[in-house]
Amino acid sequence: MTADLKAPLDGWHLIHGDSAAGCVIQSISIDRDKLIVNRDPIDCGPAPATLDWREWARARGGFLTSLSETYPPHFLKFAERDFVAALNHADESPPIYAWASCGLADQLLLARVLSLRTAAGTSPAHFRVIQFVAGADGVIASLGSLSPARIRAWMPTPVNPSREVVSHYLRAWRAYTSRSAEALVELLSAESPSQVLHQAMAALVQRYPDVRSGLSGTEWALLRAAESEGPRATRIIGQVAAFDAGLDQVGDLVLFAQLKALGSTALREPLLHILGSERGMRDCLVELTRFGRRVLEGRANAAEVNGCHGWVGGVNLAEFPAYRSGNALILP
C-alpha cells in the first residue's frame, strides 16, 4: 500500500547513510532536527554483542580506520554517542519512522535499534517502519539508489511491527553478533514472520568462504572481475558493486579493502599483485597471480593455503572457520 504523502509524518526519522538521507529529504518534508542518520556501516566488520556505545565504538574503530582516514576512532566514538543519545531523546516526541530497503544494512540497523530500545525498556508501540520492498526495477536493496521521485511514487504506508516481528528482529541481532555461526543457522532454519528480514540475513551466508574456492562471494566476484575488467581497481570495484551485490550492498571502501587483502604480501600465497598506490583506488592497479588464477579455475583453495580471515558480524573467521556450500553453512 502506498503512503498518503499529504498526511504529515511528524516525529523522528531514522535512516541508514547520508546518501539515503539526502534522497529522503528531497522527496518529502522532514524536520532535519529530528533526523537520526546512522553513519556506521554495521553490516561490515566486527559487530560485538554489546549495548554499550563506548564498547561498540572501540570495537568498530580499528576496522573503520583501516577503511579510511575519515573514520578515526574518536570520530566514531562521538558519532555513536550522538546516535544513541538521539534515539533516547526521541522518546520525548514519538513516533520514530524507520526508513528501510530490503538490503542487509538497513535490516540490521532495524534489528540493532530495536535491540537498543528494548534493552532500555522502551515500548516499540510508537515505532513505525517505512519498508520499501519492490519498484519497477525489482527488489529495492538500497534507498540511496532511488531518486526522490521514485521514493515518492513507491513510498509504502508506515507500519507498526507486531510483537512477533519485533521478537524476530531481536533474534536476528543476537544471531548477527554471536561469536558462532550456529546462531545464524538456527535463525535461518526457523520460520520467519518477516520474509524481508529472512532474505537479508540469508545473504550473510555468502560472507563465509566457499568450501571449494575458500573465498567469500564478494572475494570471488572481485577476483573474477580482476580477470575480466582489470587492471584498474576502480573498474573492478564498479563491476562488483553494480552486478554482484544483491541484498548485501557494501560500499566501495569495503570492496577496495577486500581487493587489497586478496593481494596482501602477508598471505602465504597472494591472489593478486597490487600495482601502483594502495592509498587510493583511483591510482591502484591489480593483476592475478598464478595462485589467484588457479583458485578461479578450481584447482586451488585459498582458505586451505592462506587460512580464513575477516569478520561476519560477531564471528571471527580466524577463530571460527565455518564454510558454505551453495546457500548452506558447514559448521566446524
Predicted local confidence at residue 328, as pLDDT: 94
Residue 94, C-beta contacts closer than 8 angstroms, at least 6 positions apart: 11, 12, 126
- Mean predicted confidence (pLDDT) in 149-178: 95
- Using CA atoms, how far apart are residues 239 and 243, in angstroms rounded to an integer? 6
Residue 192, helix vs strand vs coil: coil
Residue 65, CA distances (Å) to 91, 205, 312, 313, 324 in order: 32, 26, 18, 17, 29
Q: Are residues 50 and 169 in the same domain?
A: yes
Q: Are residues 224 and 168 in the same domain?
A: no
- Cβ atoms of 311 and 45 within 8 Å: the answer is yes
The domain spanning residue 279 has which CATH number? 1.10.10.10
**pLDDT 10s digits, 259-315:** 999 999 999 999 999 998 777 888 899 999 999 999 999 999 999 999 999 999 999
Strand partners of residue 12: 96
CA 212 to centroid of chain Cα atoms: 25
Interior angle at CA 323, CA 100 and CA 64, nearest 5 = 50
Strands 284-288 and 311-312: unpaired
Predicted local confidence at residue 3, as pLDDT: 54
Predicted local confidence at residue 120, as pLDDT: 83
Q: Which residue has the cell 583511483?
A: 282
Q: Are residues 19 and 155 in the same domain?
A: yes
Predicted local confidence at residue 4, as pLDDT: 52
pLDDT over 70 percentage in the chain: 95
**pLDDT 10s digits, 4-21:** 554 558 889 999 998 999
Q: Is residue 273 part of a domain?
A: yes
Q: Are residues 165 and 216 in the same domain?
A: no
Predicted local confidence at residue 8, as pLDDT: 59
The domain spanning residue 134 has which CATH number? 3.40.50
Per the structure, the complete domain to which residue 249 belongs is given by: 210-307
Q: Are residues 27 and 158 in the same domain?
A: yes
Residue 102, helix vs strand vs coil: coil
For the chain, the maximum distance between any two Cα atoms, rounded to a whole number of angstroms, is 61
Torsion of CA 202, 184, 64, 82, to 10 degrees: 100
140 has pLDDT over 60 = yes
Q: Are residues 54 and 149 in the same domain?
A: yes
Q: Is residue 131 part of a domain?
A: yes
Lowest mean pLDDT of 121-130, 179-188, 212-221, 313-322, name the range.
121-130
Domain edge (last residue) among 162, 177, 192: 177
Report which listed range, 60-74, 90-104, 138-152, 295-309, is most confident: 295-309
What length is written for the chain? Answer: 332
Helix axes 182-189 and 163-177, enclosed angle (nearest 10): 150
Q: Is residue 313 part of a domain?
A: no
**pLDDT 10s digits, 47-65:** 999 999 999 999 998 888 8
Lowest mean pLDDT of 24-28, 67-71, 166-170, 237-241, name the range.
67-71
pLDDT over 90 percentage in the chain: 65
The pLDDT mean for the chain works out to: 90
Q: Is residue 329 part of a domain?
A: no
Q: Is residue 4 part of a domain?
A: no
Q: Are residues 64 and 173 in the same domain?
A: yes
132 has pLDDT over 60 = yes
Interior angle at CA 155, CA 196 and CA 107, nearest 5 = 30
- Mean predicted confidence (pLDDT) in 113-137: 87
Q: Is residue 67 part of a domain?
A: yes
Q: What are the cell numbers at 161?
A: 511491527
Q: Is residue 317 part of a domain?
A: no
Q: Are residues 217 and 136 in the same domain?
A: no
pTM of the model: 0.93
- Using CA atoms, how far apart are residues 167 and 164, in angstroms rounded to an integer? 5
Domain edge (last residue) among 160, 177, 194: 177
Q: Are residues 45 and 118 in the same domain?
A: yes
Number of domains in the chain: 2
Lowest mean pLDDT of 10-24, 184-198, 205-219, name the range.
10-24
Q: Are residues 123 and 225 in the same domain?
A: no
Neighbours of 159 (CB within 10 A): 13
Q: Is residue 318 part of a domain?
A: no
Peptide bond into 95 cis (omega under 30): yes
Q: Are residues 217 and 171 in the same domain?
A: no
Q: Are residues 147 and 269 in the same domain?
A: no
Residue 302 identity (one-letter amino acid): A
